[in-house]
A and B are shown apart, each in its own frame.
Chain A
Amino acid sequence: MAILSLQGVSKSFGALRVTDDVSFALEPGEALGIIGPNGAGKSTLFNLITGNLRPDQGRVMLDGRDITDETPMQRCASGIGRSFQIPQPFGNLSVYENLLVAARFGGGLAATEAPAHCMDILRRTGLARHADRKAGGLPLLDRKRLELARAMATRPRVILLDEIAGGLTDAECVELVATIRAIHAEGTAIIWIEHVLHALTSVVSRLMVLNFGRMLMIGAPDAVMAAPEVREIYLGIEA
């Protein structure tokens, strides 16, 4: 059974249809990539999955259960974790405390279990040396790492990554991809929105293309990137 599925989900802001009849199913442990031009509705799709937005039509299912009417808090507790495109750390909390909040409230861990869980994630994401630093003062790469680390701390079964590689140098990107691959290898399902295609295709096994809110194509990355209609949108952008 699919861990997460969307069934005919649509969302409009006024006259603008930002998500138009999107349906797909994510298998447990699968990594799905989402690409598309700016304004294609990629981040909106994430907001619909996390519950920050409510769809006008369609259903969102987790483990075959309808979660369309659930709040972001409930969905987080059920196992949906998210990183933001623009990092949104709790700036006045330390890096470690950012994770602790996520682990205690979102991950449902007890006070005795949470610290070890958080320290482990800090090590794996390369943030251990910044543990006691205020999150608001971190440079970009570490903010991106913190987004990932904090999402991991909620112990998600599906993790949503929103352009987490954007703005990083090649070396930084390689490091981040290695961390994401490790999370994936542990069986966490991933949906990843990304413009940095080589990073994306080194992790995902399926690729979805969004354009004007509609799902243009979904399938194996090679086949999708070779399709003429996708090449048309991505003309001039080389993978």
Chain B
Amino acid sequence: MIWLDTLLQGLMLGGLYALFAAGLSLVFGIMRLVNLAHGDLIVLGAYLILGLGSALGLHPFLAAVLALPLMFGLGWLLQTALLNRVLGEDILPPLLVTFGLSVVIQNALLMGFSADSRKLPVGPIEAQALPLGPVTVGVMPLITFASAILVIWGLNQLFYRTALGRAFRATSDDPVTAQLMGIRPRSIFAIATGIALVVAAIAALYLGARANFDPATGPARLLYAFEAVIIGGLGSLWGTLAGGLVIGVAQALGAALNPEWQILAGHLAFVAVLLLRPRGLFPRAHD
């Protein structure tokens, strides 16, 4: 029964990792941009929720709802003012710029909020648990997991059911030809990054509710997110969810064997998938 419990905890944790990864996957899938500041933007989102919550006296869940449009605006601005200028044939400039952005965000947060670790005060729900047959699962991890599935499902609906989604996919396939079909890739990219940061804000809520965070928390989240995207297959959102779950389960199993092995087990699972399926579990049909 301990193994079933471990598996379940791993899946729940994997949902959080999938949320970290969904925004990264979206941006990478559409514009081939690896946003190295993604983890820091999630942490920034957590501080934004914390700040809004304490300033307006709101519960973190309500503060997160307020943070969503703000994060969309930030993403739109970030893409329009900065990232669109460095996107091109060469993949190095966007990597350098987002790396720089990562450093800037970390230091700005350090100045604004100090290095003390913080947590989002979600209240008694944090300690509540549901008995599921032979095992028990926490309410917050369950909500996190459900949110991850909902977010991935929602993004898929957007991608495959709407005109905007088709424009995303057309631009992803061929930005030059997309222009000849009347699509403005730069506007498409700005909306995509806006949506990615909305997802980052959702991830931030559950990150801050689950564990302590501080200005230096971002890079490790980026690493898990990146691994989840690669495991799932670049450009596949359901793949990203699967990738998050693989890492979550691997970490939980590793931790069950020996608490020191949690992080290592996640990375080993990543390496194993890369060796067996170099293009990920669900690669795109046509690159």
Contacts and interface: CB of A to CB of B under 8 A. Distances in A.
A134 B181 contact: no
Interface residues of B, number: 21
A72 B285 contact: no
A206 B55 CA distance: 73
B167 to A, nearest CB: 6
A76 B235 CA distance: 28
Interface string B173-200: 1101111111110000000000000000
A148 B173 CA distance: 18
A76 B182 contact: yes
B181 A52 contact: no
A102 interface: yes
Contacts of A119: none
A90 B182 CA distance: 14
Interface in A83-133: 84, 88-93, 97-98, 100-102, 104-108, 111
Contacts, number: 84
A50 interface: yes
B284 interface: yes
Interface residues of A, number: 32
B84 to A, nearest CB: 14
Contacts of B285: 91-92, 134, 136-137
Contact of B170 (A50, A82, A101): A101
A83 B247 CA distance: 45
A93 B170 contact: yes
A106 B166 contact: no
B172 to A, nearest CB: 7
A77 B174 CA distance: 18
Contacts of A134: 285-286
A54 interface: no
Nearest to A114: B163
A25 B161 CA distance: 42
Contacts of B284: 92
Contacts of A98: 170
Given A90-B173, A90-B174, A93-B169, A104 B163 contact: yes
Interface of B: 163, 166-167, 169-170, 172-174, 176-184, 235, 284-286
17 contacts: A76-B180, A90-B169, A90-B173, A90-B177, A91-B286, A92-B172, A92-B235, A92-B284, A92-B286, A101-B183, A102-B181, A105-B163, A105-B182, A106-B183, A134-B286, A150-B181, A154-B182
Given A92-B235, A111-B163, A136-B286, 17 more contacts: A50-B180, A71-B184, A73-B183, A76-B181, A82-B180, A90-B173, A90-B174, A92-B172, A92-B286, A93-B170, A97-B170, A101-B166, A101-B183, A104-B167, A105-B167, A106-B182, A136-B285
